[in-house]
Amino acid sequence: MNPAASSPLAASLLAAPLPVSGIAWLDEARREHRAAFAAGGLPGARVEAWKYTALRGLAQRRFSAGDGVAATRAVDAAAFALPGMEGPRLVFVNGVFRADLSSLVALPDGLSLQPLSQALRNDAEPLRFALSRPALVGQVHAASDAFVQVNAANAADGVVLKVAAHAQIAAPVQLVFVGAAADAELAWHARNLVELAEGASLTLVEHHLGHGEQAQLATLVGDVVLHEGAQLHQVVLQNAAADTNLVRRSGLRLHARAQMQLHVLELGGALVRHDLQAELAGDGAQLHTRGVFMPHGRQHIDTQLAIRHQALDTASTSHWRGVANDRARGVFRGAIVVAPGADGSDANLSNKNLLLSPNAEIDTKPELEIYADEVQAAHGATVGQLDERSLFYLRSRGIPLAEARALLTAAFCRAVLDDLPNAALREHLSGLLIAQLPA
Amino acid sequence: MLKIENLHARVAGREILKGLSLEVNAGEVHAIMGPNGAGKSTLGNVLSGRDGYEVTAGTVSYNGVDLLTMAPEARAAAGVFLAFQYPVEIPGVNNTYFLRAALNAQRKARGEKELVREKLKVMQISDELLHRAVNEGFSGGEKKRNEIFQMAVLEPQLAILDETDSGLDIDALKQVAQGVNTLRSPERAFLMITHYQRLLDYVVPDFVHVLANGRIVESGDKSLALKLEEHGYAGLGAGAAA
């Protein structure tokens, strides 16, 4: 009995030839990850972590492995141009690194940036620890992390980024993942590793987009490790094509006094799932996440946040907003654990949601577990409609109803961008939010 | 300009206005006074088109058209302005942006050209409040001043002030009154709804009406307000209210 092979999706994923690196430990690890997926299969309806994201529909689909011509497929570079992004850039098309679209010349001192495929050819040994396991940071559960195992078995490329101790990298680094329509409906995978050494700082912009319309399944697994006093600002712009199924998992580990600021915009895709597991592992570490998910049409966007405070005086703030229209569905789970010994920690999580249509749905679930002393924690979630009093106020000044609705909805979403430091990028992202709203 | 005849209106199934009639001409300032629960705010809300107010009888004609069938934004474009008793805070919407959107929406509805940013700048008073979100974190006085400022920018024909004087200290009251007096003109009419005579020391009305139990029970000139101040609402217009 092979539970995994019981669906067309799992069967097609298991039928994909594993990438061959010629590196014994890596090829062995990939076979093990494949075997783990074969044994565990896709998460069923009774797995708690997938309760609100049913895979029934997706499980009936089949995806082919890899894009043989990804290296030469024409892609419009203007589509991933972002204001204020003149720095280094790595571009992947259907999971394959594209040197011709990337910008890796004259990297600033202290920044090491290369595609995983190249890093493995150059010197695979430093990657052995990370790639021997399905994910570096956080927990991987056989029952719920099937896509992480699939990624670990199949990802042949991705990003390897390191910043040397005390290096302050001024220019933002852009990571671009393009899903491009191909001859067949594709599954592709990318594995990213980001590490900032002591006192280093960096701004990272991760951009997901589509080129042409065609069903795809993409998995991305990324780990971020911030050593003592390192500072990372990461912006994720998820604007995948409408028929893309995108499953991402991010692991964040913050050592002492490390600080991370994360801004996430979830706009595109068909079925989108993002698991974010963060460990505040060192004293005084701080994580500040802001995000907005805006499913419309029949989109399904699911964000699962799990933040563990594991050390003294750690702080996390998480402010997420959801806006669902048409027949779309949003899911948000924000789980905060303050572990024994993480005394003096401060955790604040909020998720506010707007339903713009009677057929839209948002399921939100804040969770808080505290096992330490002198902890300040607050969490809350709301789901509602636009405030009638505000609408009338705007209309009484002459602003038509549709415009008043758009104005209030845009203001609601934009709140997550308020503390994004890069003004040009903030304005651009704000424009994308507004463009996503019903006219 | 405004002709209200035998207006009956309900809120949540309860009749509040019970046959109110009133005529306002261009250039006039009318004060509507009355005790709590008389229907003062209901009148303002019905005239500006707020949801939840059901008109069961009577007519409201504004410049010859039926005001009651118009959407709130259409009334605004036609020149009706309500200064709110409780201005709404709108986080995330910049005051300047809001005013520009309102002004241009009205101009567009009237078939006029939209104003460009530079032109608007000239008309806008330099004010730190402009750069903040609409009414967010404003004090009571700042909110009321903002209402008057919006009125100045939007230049309505008929301005309805719903208890704009309530909750203001004397300095804020003078500022608001000065704003209103500056805007008085032969083309513009004001309907000032107020509980106290105090505002009328600074904005001298042409007419004063007493609203009690859903209808106008007495009308007069500014001396009526002084009489009210002296004797209170009790006993006034008793015959009409019965």
A239 CB neighbour count, 10 Å cutoff = 18
Mean pLDDT of chain A: 94
Q: Which residues of B touch A393 (CB under 8 A)?
A: 84, 87-88, 90, 134
Averaged over A48-72, what is the pLDDT? 92
Give the number of C-alpha atoms closer than 13 A to the C-alpha of residue A419, restricted to the C-beta side: 13
Distance CA A207, CA A262 (A): 13
pLDDT in tens, B28-82: 999 999 988 899 999 999 999 999 999 999 999 999 999 999 999 999 999 999 9
Partner B contacted by A177 (CB < 8 A) = no
Distance CA A216, CA A207 (A): 17
Q: Among residues 379-438 of chain A, which lie with CB inside 8 Å of chain B?
A: 387-390, 392-401, 403-404, 407-408, 410-412, 414-415
Residue range B171-197: average pLDDT? 91
pLDDT in tens, A131-176: 999 999 988 888 789 999 999 999 999 999 999 999 999 999 999 9
Angle at B165 between CA B1 and CA B90, to 5 degrees: 85
* DSSP H or E segment with residue B22: strand B14-24
More confident of the two residues B97 and A301: A301
Residue A357, chain B, CB below 8 Å: the answer is no
Q: Is the pLDDT of residue B241 over 80?
A: no
Q: Which of A396, A410, A411 sits opposite B76 (nearest CB)?
A: A396
3-state secondary structure of B192: strand
- Cα A357 from Cα A296, distance rounded (Å): 10
Q: Do A415 and B92 touch (CB under 8 A)?
A: yes
Closest chain A C-alpha to B142 CA, distance in angstroms: 17
Mean pLDDT score, A385-395: 94
Contact list, B98 vs chain A (CB under 8 Å): 394, 397, 407
* Strand partners of residue A218: A188, A246
**Min Cα–Cα distance to chain A from B191, Å:** 16
Find the CB nearest A399 among B87, B92, B105: B105
pLDDT grade for A5, boundaries at 50, 70 and 90: low
Q: What is the pLDDT of residue A227?
A: 98
> Across the interface, do B82 and A396 touch by the CB < 8 Å criterion?
yes
pTM of the predicted structure, to 2 decimals = 0.86
pLDDT of residue B120: 52
Is a pLDDT exceeding 50 seen at residue A16?
yes
Which of B46, B81, B98 is most worth mutating to test chain A (most A CB atoms within 10 A of its CB)?
A: B98
Q: Which residue of A has its CA nearest to B82?
A: A396
B83 C-beta neighbours (distance < 10 Å), count: 27
Q: Has residue B113 got a pLDDT over 90?
A: no
Rounded Cα distance, B231 and B240, in Å: 18
Phi, psi of A434 (to 5 degrees): -65, -40
Percentage of chain A with pLDDT > 70? 99
User: How many angstroms from the chain centroid is the CA of residue B239?
Assistant: 28
pLDDT band at B128, cuts 50/70/90?
A: low
Cα→Cα distances B73→A120, A167, A328, Å: 63, 56, 30
Q: Which of B80, B71, B63, B68 is nearest to B8 (CA)?
A: B68
pLDDT of B196 reads 83
In the block, which residue shows the tokens 């699939």? A150
Half-sphere exposure of A411 (CA within 13 A, CB side): 22
**Which residues on neighbouring strands pair with residue B24, listed in sequence order?**
B2
B75 neighbourhood in chain A, CB within 8 Å: 396
pLDDT given at position A128: 96
CB contact under 8 A, A395 and B82: no
Q: Do B51 and A401 touch (CB under 8 A)?
A: no
Local structure of B240: helix, strand or coil: helix
pLDDT value, residue B126 = 46
E strand or H helix that includes residue A196: strand A186-196
Are B50 and A392 a contacting pair at CB < 8 A?
yes
* Chain A / chain B CB contacts < 8 angstroms: 77
Residue A101: pLDDT above 60? Answer: yes
Using a CB-CB distance cutoff of 8 angstroms, which residues of chain A are in contact with residue B150?
397
ipTM rounded to 2 decimals: 0.93
Residue A28: per-residue pLDDT: 97
B154–A392 CB contact, under 8 Å: no
- Nearest CB to A393 within list B88, B91, B106: B88
